[in-house]
Amino acid sequence: MHRTIVITLTLLAVVFIYPSMIPAGDPHRDSLKNKGETEIRLSGHIQKILSAEMNGIQKGMTLLAIAIPAGHWDDIAGTAEKMKESYIMNRKLSHEEREELHHSLPPGFQALDREFHDTAGLLRQAAGAHNRELVTAYFCKLNETCVTCHSLYAAKRFPDFK
């Protein structure tokens, strides 16, 4: 029971306290909103692929929030690896699908998505080295990237970021 309380409190702290510490003048947010590059329009098929990736990332973030405070290094590394490899641009897509993604996803979104998956790879390495400080820092970076991306590109789904 005590372990469950500790894990829950850790998760709540990361999800609710850390994002509020992110500076309001985020360079991604400020530069992209000025360029009007925040609207994403995708065909139904590509939207399903992107939604599946986002659902997988959400599941991974939840698993990490449980595994990190418990020091389950193999679980952390495995989850981080899955998140790294889920990168939408690495999927087996037709030429037309790849072109649609390239032209429909704003460059800022693509940069944040790449940053997220690169950070997941770094998290995997840190977990392999049992480096709790780096694991925690990379998890926070992943969370920060999610918050930045959602506030820029998913304000309709997350209206409190408007």
What CATH number has the domain bearing residue 56? 1.20.120
Per-residue pLDDT tens digits for 55-93: 989 999 999 999 999 999 999 999 999 999 886 656 667
Query: What CA–CA distance (Å, rounded) separates 42 from 45?
Result: 8
What's the whole-number mean pLDDT along residues 39-60? 86
Top-ranked range on mean pLDDT: pick from 3-12, 20-29, 101-110, 117-126: 117-126
pLDDT attached to residue 139:
98
**Segments forming the whole domain that contains residue 49:** 2-161
Query: What CA–CA distance (Å, rounded) separates 111 from 105?
Result: 10
What pLDDT band is residue 30 in, cutting at 50, 70 and 90? very low
Across all residues in the chain, what is the average pLDDT?
79
Top-ranked range on mean pLDDT: pick from 5-9, 32-36, 77-81: 77-81
Per-residue pLDDT tens digits for 142-153: 999 999 999 998
Per-residue DSSP letter, 21: G
**What's the number of domains the chain is made of?**
1
pLDDT attached to residue 96:
85
> Which pTM does this prediction carry?
0.74
Helix (H, G, I), strand (E, B) or coil at 71: coil
Query: What CA–CA distance (Å, rounded) separates 35 from 47?
Result: 23
Question: Could you tell me which residue, 20 or 27, shows the higher pLDDT?
Answer: 27
- With 60 as the cut, is the pLDDT of residue 45 above it? yes
